[in-house]
Amino acid sequence: MDIITIIEKKKNRIELDKQEIRFVIKGYLEGAIPDYQISAFLMAIWFNGMNYKEIDAMTTEMAHSGEIINLNSIPDIKVDKHSTGGVGDKTTIALIPMVAAAGVPVPKISGRALGYTGGTIDKLESIDGFQTNLSVETFINNVRKIKASVISASVDLAPADKKIYALRDVTGTTDSIPLIASSIMSKKIAGGADSLVLNVTVGDGAFIKTLSEGISLAKIMVDIGRSNNKKTYAIISSMEQPLGNAVGNSLEVLEAINLLNNNGPADLKELCLFLGAYMLMAGGVVSKHIDGIKILEEILSNGLAFKKFLEIVKAQHGNVEQISNPLLLPRSKYNSNVISRKEGIIKRIDAEMIGKTALLLGAGRKTKEDNIDHSVGIVLKKKTGDRVRINEPLATIYFNEENRYNLIENSIHKAFHFTNSTLQKKPLILKVIY
Ligand code: URA
């Protein structure tokens, strides 16, 4: 078996068998196959896709590239959650404490930024000292004691995903159904939870642009979950504009904290309640979705979700003062409003452009070695459907490099599209598959 033949098979749309997929994953992990050949392999998958058998084999191989966590020592049904990613998607940061405060153990395995979308691990690292490379033992203990813990793919846990994910991030191979499905499900299998709630985002600001592709991805992941004995719900939601207002690491943590104080943007709250209620159903705490929503609303208004977040941050060695006083989170040197040059109603906000602008500011990586600037980003002042007058702010840019400002400002203007007629509100939640 050799890697060139395997790349050529994928290039020529010939099905790969389990052994060939194992050869690639193992070879890359052990350093026998270099980045450039795996990049070609990933790009061949991007163009030619994979069938279910191949995706399943790739998922199993990546999941078993490290430890499979055994959570049997923790009573109750453990529920993990994952999003396929999007611009401004900070749902995980708010959901973990909300659901844990409702009594469901949440062992959460998260990823870093991918392409122009942010990642939970990078966002949480905006909090001084917050550790996501916990040992498996500490992870299990934390879930047992405080009902929640967040770790990243690591040398112990789905290491093949960690390595391939970092390469996809910088090789234009993020938006591929087989690569997303195997990346997410390998981490979920390695993480050992009993049930899964997956948020498949579709639209301009997501890797998956259309509902029909979102349904395909959701079905594949639900099937893989089921064949691994995990009750799996996939909720497809719209990412036609950034979720919430903030885009950028510490700014998104701040927005999640606001939600935990029952003060977050309406769309973020709606999605968190919807996903969270499925997590409560998956965890056996409620049997009706509406009952889950009621419990979570209560937990947001009585402060229990915020308190749980403080506990999680403390258990992961983060600076809890930054949570109680978010002004202490990393802040950029400069900020400036982008002022509207037009009048009208916002018809569309190009989420991909906003995400790419945040990347330009330094909120994501352009090469594998890049460091993230946690302090920079964009806060939208207007969302789709809002009326805007000339000279009203469209967004605030948080930045550290003055020389990039004009470029960034222009991108923000280009991202906003106007109309003169009122708009029908589009639904945020599009479909549930299980
Ligand atoms: N999240 C992941 O963990 N992997 C992907 O490929 C996309 C989102």
Say what percent of the chain tops pLDDT 90. 90
Compute, in angstroms, the gap from residue 290 CA to the centroid of ligand 1: 29
110 lines ligand 1 (CB under 6 A): no
Residue 161 annotated among the catalytic residues of the structure = yes
Compute, in angstroms, the gap from residue 65 CA to the centroid of ligand 1: 17
Q: How far apart are CA 273 and CA 292, in angstroms?
A: 8
Compute, in angstroms, the gap from residue 84 CA to the centroid of ligand 1: 5
Residue 304 tokens read as 């229990």
Q: How confident is the model at residue 282 (pLDDT cuts 50, 70, 90)?
A: very high
Residue 187 annotated among the catalytic residues of the structure = yes
Q: Among 10, 90, 112, 168, which one carries the catalytic annotation?
A: 168
Scanning the structure block, which residue is given the tokens 């900070």? Answer: 90
85 lines ligand 1 (CB under 6 A): yes
Contact 316, 353 (CB under 8 A): no
74-116 residue pLDDT tens: 999 999 999 999 999 999 999 999 999 999 999 999 988 887 8
Q: Enumerate residues 6+ apart whose C-beta is below 8 A from 106.
A: 78, 79, 80, 81, 95, 96, 99, 100, 143, 147, 148, 149, 279
Q: How far apart are CA 224 and CA 230, in angstroms?
A: 9
- Nearest residue by C-alpha to atom 6 in ligand 1: 180
Q: Where are the alpha helices (DSSP H) in 228-382?
A: 249-260, 266-282, 289-301, 304-315, 321-324, 351-361
Q: How far apart are CA 271 and CA 279, in angstroms?
A: 12
Q: What pLDDT score was predicted for residue 224?
A: 98
Atom number in ligand 1 closest to CA 168? 6
Q: How confident is the model at residue 223 (pLDDT cuts 50, 70, 90)?
A: very high
111 lines ligand 1 (CB under 6 A): yes
Count Cα atoms within 13 angstroms, Cβ side, for 39. Answer: 10
Q: Among 183, 186, 250, 340, which one carries the catalytic annotation?
A: 183
395-428 residue pLDDT tens: 999 999 988 888 999 999 999 999 998 888 899 9
Sheet with 246-247: strands ordered across: 246-247, 377-380, 393-399, 334-339
Compute, in angstroms, the gap from residue 157 CA to the centroid of ligand 1: 15
Say what percent of the chain tops pLDDT 70. 100
- Nearest residue by C-alpha to atom 5 in ligand 1: 180
CB atoms within 10 A of CB 34: 11
**β-bridge mates for residue 149, sequence order:** 107
Residue 128 annotated among the catalytic residues of the structure = no
As a whole number of angstroms, the longest Cα–Cα distance in the chain is: 64
Contact 190, 225 (CB under 8 A): no
Atom number in ligand 1 closest to CA 207? 7
Q: What pLDDT score was predicted for residue 111?
A: 84
Residue 168 annotated among the catalytic residues of the structure = yes
Q: What is the 3-state secondary structure (H, E, C) of 308-335?
A: HHHHHHHHCCCCCHHHHCHHHCCCCCEE
- Nearest residue by C-alpha to atom 2 in ligand 1: 184
Compute, in angstroms, the gap from residue 307 CA to the centroid of ligand 1: 29
Q: What mean pLDDT, rounded, does the chain reach? A: 95
Residue 299 tokens read as 């937990």
Q: What pLDDT score was predicted for residue 395?
A: 98
Q: How far apart are CA 15 and CA 418, in angstroms?
A: 47
Is 243 strand, coil or helix? coil
Q: What pLDDT score was predicted for residue 368?
A: 75
Is 259 strand, coil or helix? helix
Residue 17 annotated among the catalytic residues of the structure = no
**β-bridge mates for residue 236, sequence order:** 200, 431
Q: Among 10, 22, 78, 82, which one carries the catalytic annotation?
A: 82
Our mutation pick for probing the ligand 1 site, out of 50, 84, 197, counting the most ligand atoms within 8 A of Cβ, is 84
- Nearest residue by C-alpha to atom 8 in ligand 1: 84
The residue among 41, 90, 30 whose CA lies nearest residue 243 is 90
The residue among 253, 275, 260, 241 whose CA lies nearest residue 128 is 253
The residue among 83, 203, 168 whose CA lies nearest residue 365 is 168
Q: What pLDDT score was predicted for residue 425?
A: 85
Atom number in ligand 1 closest to CA 119? 1
258-268 residue pLDDT tens: 999 999 999 99
Q: How far apart are CA 123 and CA 150, in angstroms?
A: 12
Q: Is 19 exposed, middle or buried (0-12, 13-18, 19+ CB in 10 A)?
A: exposed
The residue among 230, 259, 232 whose CA lies nearest residue 92 is 259
Compute, in angstroms, the gap from residue 337 CA to the centroid of ligand 1: 32
183 lines ligand 1 (CB under 6 A): yes
Q: What pLDDT score was predicted for residue 154?
A: 79
184 lines ligand 1 (CB under 6 A): yes
Q: Give the mean pLDDT of 374-379.
A: 97
Q: How confident is the model at residue 371 (pLDDT cuts 50, 70, 90)?
A: confident
Strand ranges inside 65-130, DSSP E: 79-83, 106-110
In angstroms, the first-to-last Cα distance of the chain is 38
114 lines ligand 1 (CB under 6 A): yes
Residue 310 tokens read as 């403080």
The residue among 169, 181, 117, 127 whose CA lies nearest residue 150 is 127
